[in-house]
Amino acid sequence: MSRNDAAPGTVTAPPGRIRRLLSLLYVQCLIGVFAGAAVGWLWPSFGADLKPLGDGFISLVRMMIAPVIFCTVVHGIASMGNARAVGRVSLKALIYFEVLTTVAMVIGLVVVNLVQPGVGLHVEVSTLSTEGLPPEATQSHESVAAFVLSTIPDTLISAMTGHEILPVLLVSVLFGFGLNAAGEAGAGITQGIEKLSKVLFTLIRWIMRLAPIGSFGSMAFTIGNYGLDTLRHLFLLVGSFWLTALFFVLIVLGTVMRINGLRLLPFLRYIKEELLIVLGTSSSEPVLPRMMAKLQHAGASKPVVGITLPAGYSFNLDGTAIYLTMGSVFLAQALGIDLSLTQQLSMLAVMLLTSKGAAGVTGSGFIALAATLSAVPHVPVAALALIFGVDRFMSEARALTSVVGNGVATLAVAKWEGELDEDRARAVLRGEIPYTSGPEADHSPAPHADPAPGEKAGDADVKEAAGTDRAPVPAVG
């Protein structure tokens, strides 16, 4: 039956429209997530064997993160040309991170004490064992001094070959200041780094086409390996954690956006592709380069994005902060350990340290929880066995919350620094200046776009030409 012979009352989408819809990355990722869940549910053994698809995709993106951060941060500092401004941005970002992390932990603490998901389990400590837990969870954890020293790489090059973000940031900041101090001699290197960053973003754009396959493999492994039955056993903990994370995003982060003259829901629509990739892979790492490009496209200056967003991956893990308080108190409740308010607050103080430096990779929140339990005497580390089976189902919420939180933090710091083109940001979030994909994308306003209210036609083009710090960046997806 042809399209013209369709039954009366039915609506048939034009084939061209379907093809365009299927060409969108977020639609492909959504299909990958649902297909992976179905495979993992119907054929658990086969689904568990698909783990290399997700791991391979994450590894491909991870190998690009260090050079992308290096080029972005170095070029941003060199173009800023003011060491005092860099220090001011860093200080504001760190203060914001500490405040929001504390708020997230307090919210998690309040919810877990109200809902009490662990009460009634009556688990005997003698029945617990650390057998089967990741080796990292049972190792002794570093002190404050060791944590600080770990940010210093052995060599300049070794920072680029490791998996930690903080050493890369340290080397990038020092190199950027060095280019500033070199004056004329550093100008050519700065231009070369800018050109190199365009090449790197082109590579990222190619790699991101594999995101649906990575999402499919990761989701199939999660459902196939752990199963939905595991989730049912601790549904109250998992459900309350997801709802708490959602509350934090909508209320706390939504308020931060409102204070800065923007709205959260349009921002969530703007980064929907990144959120679906995170949902599929349970990791916020794969979307770091894309988030950097999109935030610059939304009007935040390159230096602020280059400093704030990568730092947020180590210092502003809001989802992990909520998980740490809820997870630790849940385990205490399950073991029948009555934690006083003083004991809970002392654990919170420890968590402010153990949550730092946990990069946005799958399982990092679980390791941070192990570090917290090993640092306080209240709950045995072996109790982690109670939630190990469902940790993967909470990993997605941790990563999603942290990605949104870091994006909001970057826009907020840019606004406070006067480094956010607010008219452009609103237009981008309204969808008037789309984030286009392709190696030649210039991220400039569409030539026939309607001007913003109160703005003359052509003002936006003049504004773009004048704002050298908001130079277009290559699209990555």
Q: How does pLDDT run across 13-39, given as a tens digit for each residue?
A: 556 777 777 777 767 878 888 888 888
Q: What's the predicted TM-score (pTM) here?
A: 0.70
Supply φ then ψ for residue 420, to 5 degrees.
Answer: -125, 120
* Nearest CA-CA partner of 55 in 288, 226, 273, 285: 285
Position 245 confidence tier, pLDDT thresholds 50, 70, 90: very high
Q: Which two tokens stand for residue 262?
A: 């923007």
Average pLDDT, the chain: 75
Asked whether residue 259 carries a pLDDT value surpassing 80, the answer given is: yes
3-state secondary structure 86-150: HHHHHHHHHHHHHHHHHHHHHHHHHHHHHHCCCCCCCCCHHHCCCCCCCHHHHCCCCCHHHHHHC
Position 340 confidence tier, pLDDT thresholds 50, 70, 90: confident
Asked whether residue 362 carries a pLDDT value surpassing 80, the answer given is: no
CA distance 56 to 47: 15
* Nearest CA-CA partner of 429 in 264, 300, 288, 246: 264
